[in-house]
């Protein structure tokens, strides 16, 4: 009988826990919605790394060699694989920045060496920042194979009737252009003149991710002040809800800046001590300050919005933490955008973290451009203003209710 009673108690307690769970939509969202979104993001991302064949990126060509061989080879490539011609490197660079093309090939003069064979070191392959590694690898392989065909045709023409004998006895290494000599440069390397390092890319990404987690301390403070009557007492002194939000915005933006300084010190001094590359801080100060202010305002604004509409710290922490992880995954913080499919790359451009990541990486890579940075900073500041406006309403309603 006692055993039956205990079993009954355990079952009733389990039912009670389920009822509590069903009354907590924020916790359920973290348990079900966040893993589902992660499954979608990671599945589409890994799809591009595991498929056997990938499409060649849209390619632009700049022909600086006017020889018949170079012209014929370029024309044949474009007719077979597609591509656009550009008159200069500047036009090609502009097309890469506007994403009119994803990759570019610059054929330097002379393409043929003294031995009459095409030289792969006379090719420059320019890649946009979002080109998938698999697509870049295929483009490089196709270029090498195409030059091999040109070299074989030249050798056959020189051999005359003995072409088949020559091509059959020649070692493949004699015909294949030298590997590893084709110059490959990403757009940020062309613009900034510096090589990309892991720390230069990861510090801005994780700095932004950390700044958005300010929701946890903000939620703790705002919810406690609302529950213990501090906000009501402030109102008796003539402090408006807008002033309350403004004070918290200023305080926690300053906290973000302290957090930023700490992360920069880690990247600049601690990472090299552990054997990594040092973070380079020779960045444009004005663009850096603009992006820091805009990112911090957006992060604090979103945190205030979540804190204003939740009723407990647990709800705010679950909702804020889960939302930040989702925004970070979509934006390219956890998975680089170059590994994402084009559709997901488009979606990532609608994430506030994505706007911040674009602008901040442009600053840290030494290539900030007003036409690129200002729209993203504007979106972040507009997002912050919208969040503050939506946060003001529940505080005002709470004030009137008292």
Are 179 and 213 contained in the same domain? no
42 assigned to some structural domain: no
In DSSP notation, 378-397 reads HHHHHHHHHHHHHHHHHHHH
Domain that holds residue 98: 59-192
Are 173 and 260 contained in the same domain? no
| Residue matched to tokens 């590694």 | 133
154 assigned to some structural domain: yes
Q: Which of 331, 337, 329, 328 is nearest to 48 (CA)?
A: 337
Are 380 and 232 contained in the same domain? yes
Are 142 and 264 contained in the same domain? no
Are 224 and 185 contained in the same domain? no
pTM: 0.67
Are 379 and 246 contained in the same domain? yes
**Which 3 state secondary structure label does DSSP give 105?**
strand
Report the Cα 96 to chain-centroid distance in Å: 17
395 assigned to some structural domain: yes
33 assigned to some structural domain: no
Are 264 and 357 contained in the same domain? yes
Residue 298 pLDDT level (bands cut at 50, 70, 90) = very high
Are 172 and 217 contained in the same domain? no
Sign of CA dihedral 173, 175, 181, 186: negative
116-143 tens-digit pLDDT: 777 777 888 888 877 777 778 888 888 8
24 assigned to some structural domain: no
Are 185 and 281 contained in the same domain? no
349-396 tens-digit pLDDT: 788 988 998 888 888 877 677 888 899 999 999 999 999 889 887 776
63-121 tens-digit pLDDT: 888 888 888 888 888 888 888 888 888 888 888 877 788 888 888 878 777 767 777 77
**Domain limit, last residue, from 155, 174, 192:** 192
Are 205 and 181 contained in the same domain? no
349 assigned to some structural domain: yes
Measuring CA to CA, how many Å separate 324 from each of 122, 179, 231? Answer: 46, 44, 27
35 assigned to some structural domain: no
């Amino acid at each position: 009988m006692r055993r039956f009673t205990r079993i009954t108690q355990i079952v009733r307690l389990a039912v009670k826990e389920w009822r509590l769970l069903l009354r907590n939509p924020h916790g359920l969202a973290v348990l079900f919605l966040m893993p589902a979104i992660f499954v979608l993001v990671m599945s589409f991302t890994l799809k591009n790394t595991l498929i056997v064949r990938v499409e060649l990126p849209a390619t632009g060509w700049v022909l600086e060699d006017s020889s018949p061989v170079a012209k014929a080879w370029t024309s044949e490539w474009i007719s077979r694989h597609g591509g656009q011609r550009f008159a200069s490197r500047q036009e090609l660079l502009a097309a890469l920045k506007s994403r009119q093309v994803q990759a570019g090939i610059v054929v330097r003069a002379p393409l043929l060496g003294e031995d009459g064979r095409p030289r792969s070191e006379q090719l420059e392959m320019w890649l946009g920042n979002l080109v998938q590694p698999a697509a870049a690898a295929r483009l490089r392989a196709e270029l090498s194979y195409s030059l091999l065909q040109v070299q074989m045709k030249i050798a056959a023409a020189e051999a005359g009737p003995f072409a088949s004998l020559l091509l059959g006895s020649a070692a493949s290494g004699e015909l294949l252009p030298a590997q590893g000599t084709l110059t490959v440069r990403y757009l940020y390397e062309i613009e900034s003149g510096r090589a990309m390092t892991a720390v230069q890319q990861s510090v801005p990404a994780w700095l932004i991710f950390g700044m958005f987690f300010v929701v946890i301390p903000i939620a703790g403070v705002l919810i406690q002040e609302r529950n213990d009557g501090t906000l009501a007492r402030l109102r008796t002194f003539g402090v408006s809800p807008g002033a309350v939000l403004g004070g918290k915005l200023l305080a926690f933006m300053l906290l973000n800046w302290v957090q930023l300084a700490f992360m920069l010190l880690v990247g600049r001094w601690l990472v090299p001590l552990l054997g990594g590359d040092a973070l380079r801080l020779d960045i444009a100060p004005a663009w850096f300050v603009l992006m820091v202010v805009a990112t911090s305002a957006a992060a604090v604004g979103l945190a205030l919005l979540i804190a204003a509409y939740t009723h407990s710290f647990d709800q705010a922490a679950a909702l804020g933490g889960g939302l930040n992880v989702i925004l970070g995954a979509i934006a390219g913080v956890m998975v680089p955008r170059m590994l994402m499919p084009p559709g997901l790359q488009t979606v990532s451009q609608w994430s506030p973290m994505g706007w911040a990541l674009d602008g901040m990486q442009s600053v840290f890579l030494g290539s900030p451009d007003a036409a690129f940075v200002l729209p993203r900073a504007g979106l972040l500041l507009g997002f912050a203003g919208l969040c503050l406006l939506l946060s003001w309403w529940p505080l005002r309603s709470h004030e009137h209710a008292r």
